Amino acid sequence: MNNKDKKYTQFSLAAEMLETPKVIANFNFKQAAEAEKALRRKKKVFFTGEGSSRIFPAKHFIYQNLLSASPLAVATDGSRQTSEYALKDYAVFGASNSGKTKEVVNLFRAHQKRKHDALFSLSAFADTPLGAAATAEYVLSCGKEQAVAATKSVVEQGLFYHAILDRIVNKKAKLPAQAKKLAGAAEKSLTLKIDPKIIAKLAKANILHWAGRNTGVAEELTLKTNEITRKRSAFLEGTYAVHGIEEVMTKDDAVIVVEPFAEEEDKFEEVLVKGVKCTVVAISSRKTRFPTILIPELKGLDCYLRLMAGWNLLVEIGCALKVNMDKTERARKVGNELVGK
């Protein structure tokens, strides 16, 4: 994918993906300071939202939190289920690009009535219904997205949450000094050339399964597969790909493994390649025994690069299938928009 070929530039989706490195490089890390104070006070944080506004940003935070010496207890769920929970002792973050997602707004309004003192909204616009129900409102700098599939906003949401954690676990925040390096590596991940043989095999596949760590990356790319390529997809967390689902897989399916554990490659080859005889491809910072899309390595920030390499791959598949990646038939930009005020 690149920003010079009309094959890509005709789509707002590709343009917005390619704007992501600039969003990273220009990110305002100071906006995390206020939220950091609330998290230090509460020591518990809950992330909610729907679809892309929750999957990667929330689960990436949980992953980074567990890797660090963080004192925080963290959880996430969709807003409707979250409405059943007792969240008085939590700092609650609700993300919605539009600020009008019905489930999140209603959740925040309910807790606002209960005088909850740590409700934080994160959206692409100011003065939204969600922001009005929050203790504090944060606005993304990435701007409005024209494509149905959320991309640059997902990364900025993830970076916003990550910046808060960075301030909590490090005496001096590290992310601000790493932003330019991350932006450069992001550019490489988005524009690297992918073997046409890989694209052709995946374009022909019946189902695109995504496997890997539960960091939000593979799960978010599962959703993006539906929106961008219009193919069926499934997220196979951890080793789920070789723990039963192989019974119903066929040789016409494909599995894309994101940064596979070296210790698991034998089993994946035995069960999927030799057993099912399906296509297995890897996105990784190292060579694997499978056809591999090699990406840069950036310790502590690799999840962003894996996500963007996945975008790159999906755009190439969408182009191969001649999909209008900006126009969906049923999927909407706002899944369930609040009507009225």
Q: Using one digit for the tens of pLDDT, what is the confidence trace for 64-86?
A: 999 998 999 999 999 999 999 99
Residue 38: how many CB atoms within 10 A of its CB? 20
**Domain spanning 6-177, CATH class:** alpha beta
Domains 6-177 and 193-294 belong to one CATH topology: yes
Above 90 in pLDDT, residue 331?
no
Give 13-51 pLDDT, tens digit per residue.
999 999 999 999 999 998 888 788 888 889 999 999 999
Residue carrying the six token digits 């005020």: 341
* Mean of per-residue pLDDT scores for the chain: 95
Above 90 in pLDDT, residue 122?
yes
Q: What is the mean pLDDT of residues 206-219?
A: 98
pLDDT at position 330: 79
- Whether the CB-CB separation of 259 and 304 falls below 8 Å is answered with no
Q: What is the mean pLDDT of residues 115-139?
A: 96
d(CA 189, CA 191): 6
d(CA 227, CA 328): 7
The percent of residues above 70 in pLDDT, for the chain, comes to: 98
Above 70 in pLDDT, residue 113?
yes
The full set of domain ranges for the chain reads 6-177, 193-294
Residue 130: how many CB atoms within 10 A of its CB? 28
Q: What is the CATH number of domain 193-294?
A: 3.40.50.10490
pLDDT at position 333: 66
Helix (H) or strand (E) holding 212: strand 207-212
d(CA 136, CA 33): 12
What token pair was written down for 68? 């660090």
Q: What are phi and psi of 214, to 5 degrees?
A: -90, 70
**Separation of CA 172 from chain center:** 26
